[in-house]
Amino acid sequence: MRAEIISVGTELLLGHTVNADAAHVARELSALGVDLLQVQTLGDNGPRLEAALREALGRAEVVITTGGLGPTDDDLTKETVARVANVPLEEDADSLARLREYFGSRPMSSNQRKQALLPLGATAFPNAVGTAPGCAVPVGAKGWVLMLPGPPSELLPMLRQSVVPFLADKGGAVIASFMVRSFGLGEGAAALRIAELTDKANPTAATYAGDCEMFVRVTAKAPDVDAARALALPVVEEVRRRLGSVVYGVNVESLEAVVVAELIRQGKTVATAESCTGGLLAKRITDRPGASQIFGYGLVTYANAAKMRLLGVPEDMLRVHGAVSPEVARCMAQQARREYGADFGLGITGVAGPDGGTPAKPAGLVYVALSDAQHVWLRVMRPQGRYLGRERTRRLASSHALDMLRRCLAGLPVEDDWALENNGTAIG
């Protein structure tokens, strides 16, 4: 099956917004074994969109549009697709019921109601988050146009809940897909370790550089689920073996999801003490539903006074070593645990930058510490060559904290093995 993506929105052509939707859709198509020929990005321009749709339908069986489904006048994807499919727009009862439910007791304007209009014969894709439903519209003998909303928070759930099953059903074959997720290995190093595995046609294996992380997706195609899984699983195991203990999970949502689930499983708790990450670590832990079982206290000690008052970091230590030091990081981790009655304490202190760095303590230098009742472990993030920027520095520091806790919970070395794994890579 061949597909094309058409992303609609003048904001994309003005460069206000990066087209992340196209990447999200592309990733799912690739996992389904659908061949994506090209992506087009157009403004809110009916005639141009119509021409692009007709051309794309000449090359591909499935054309997926993103954007232009909202309530305003410049949202014209549905009207244009209906014209190409040569069908009228009709109010979809289910979509209208969902809109009514969304608005509750508040009034719904006529342009909001317009969102329940779908091309006649379309299969609606409910919007779990926002107002505009998506849909699949048959065009001609065997073509389909799938329309998805532009905001990623609406597109992503619809993609997983509606689009992937819809396309899998059309494609005939079934796909089994496994995402092996790791932290602490650069994409280049990972690619070298699994080199021959990525040359195969079925199952396929491909590396993805994530948000300071590295993923390998293994996808197998077969007539049924069991056969697809049986094809994929030996390769998944081989990827795990070659990457080693940097792998934190397969088909898991995130590093924090794994850490929170394991803390719950072991009946252990954690307290956090953050300086330069300013609450990001606590935020990532509490991103997980059920975090209250393992997390009660998070201290954002941005000021030195806060480190002294909330954590009892000695004034002398701050004066002699400075707030950004291994000593203070260790003390923060220990005191978070001791003072707030947790099994583990995590401490982070560093220079997030871009300002505030010195030659001895440059922007990007961060100390991350983990403490349990017996030990304190430390990692240092030292900017090598280039400073990553404030956002990535903070993100990476919080990931190191989570990874240290993950390794500790799994009985893996927390400091040394990590350094070994990362020899020669970009992280750290």
- Is residue 267 involved in binding its own copies (CB under 8 A)? no
- Is residue 168 involved in binding its own copies (CB under 8 A)? no
- Is residue 166 involved in binding its own copies (CB under 8 A)? no
Pairing, β 89-91 against β 247-250? unpaired
- Looking at 32, 39, 176, 346, which residue binds its own copies (CB under 8 A)? 39
- Is residue 349 involved in binding its own copies (CB under 8 A)? no
Q: 171: left (phi > 0), else alpha (psi -120 to 50), else beta?
A: alpha
Report the nearest approach of its own copies to the CB of residue 291 (Å).
7
| CB nearer to its own copies: pick between 71 and 121 | 71
- Looking at 58, 94, 111, 314, which residue binds its own copies (CB under 8 A)? 111
| CB nearer to its own copies: pick between 88 and 211 | 211
| CB nearer to its own copies: pick between 115 and 374 | 115
| CB nearer to its own copies: pick between 106 and 142 | 106
Q: Which listed range, 83-91, 235-243, 289-297, 366-374, lies at the site for its own copies (CB under 8 A)?
A: 289-297
Report the nearest approach of its own copies to the CB of residue 304 (Å).
9
Report the nearest approach of its own copies to the CB of residue 320 (Å).
21
- Is residue 353 involved in binding its own copies (CB under 8 A)? yes
Report the nearest approach of its own copies to the CB of residue 121 (Å).
27
- Looking at 300, 317, 380, 412, which residue binds its own copies (CB under 8 A)? 300
**178: part of which helix (H) or strand (E)?**
strand 174-182
Pairing, β 214-222 against β 174-182? antiparallel
- Looking at 46, 138, 357, 389, which residue binds its own copies (CB under 8 A)? 389
Using the CB atoms, write b or e for 188-197: b if 16+ within 10 Å.
ebbbebbeeb
Rounded Cα gap, residues 159 and 134, in angstroms: 10
Residues 10-29 contacting its own copies, CB under 8 A: 10-20, 22-29
Residues 176-195 contacting its own copies, CB under 8 A: 177, 179, 187-189, 191-192
Q: Is 279 helix (H, G, I), strand (E, B) or coil?
A: coil
| CB nearer to its own copies: pick between 43 and 322 | 43
Q: Which two tokens stand for residue 238?
A: 């081989």
Residues 314-333 contacting its own copies, CB under 8 A: none
Beta carbons within 8 Å of 214's beta carbon, 6+ residues apart: 181, 182, 183, 185, 186, 187, 190, 207, 208, 246
- Is residue 95 involved in binding its own copies (CB under 8 A)? no
Are 31 and 165 spatial neighbours (Cβ–Cβ below 8 Å)? no
Residues 209-248 contacting its own copies, CB under 8 A: 209, 211, 217, 219
Q: Which listed range, 39-47, 79-87, 134-142, 225-233, lies at the site for its own copies (CB under 8 A)?
A: 39-47
Nearest Cα neighbor of 246 from 183, 323, 164, 328 is: 183
Beta carbons within 8 Å of 303's beta carbon, 6+ residues apart: none
Are 99 and 115 spatial neighbours (Cβ–Cβ below 8 Å)? yes
Q: Burial, 113: exposed, middle or buried (Cβ in 10 Å; 0-12, 13-18, 19+)? A: middle
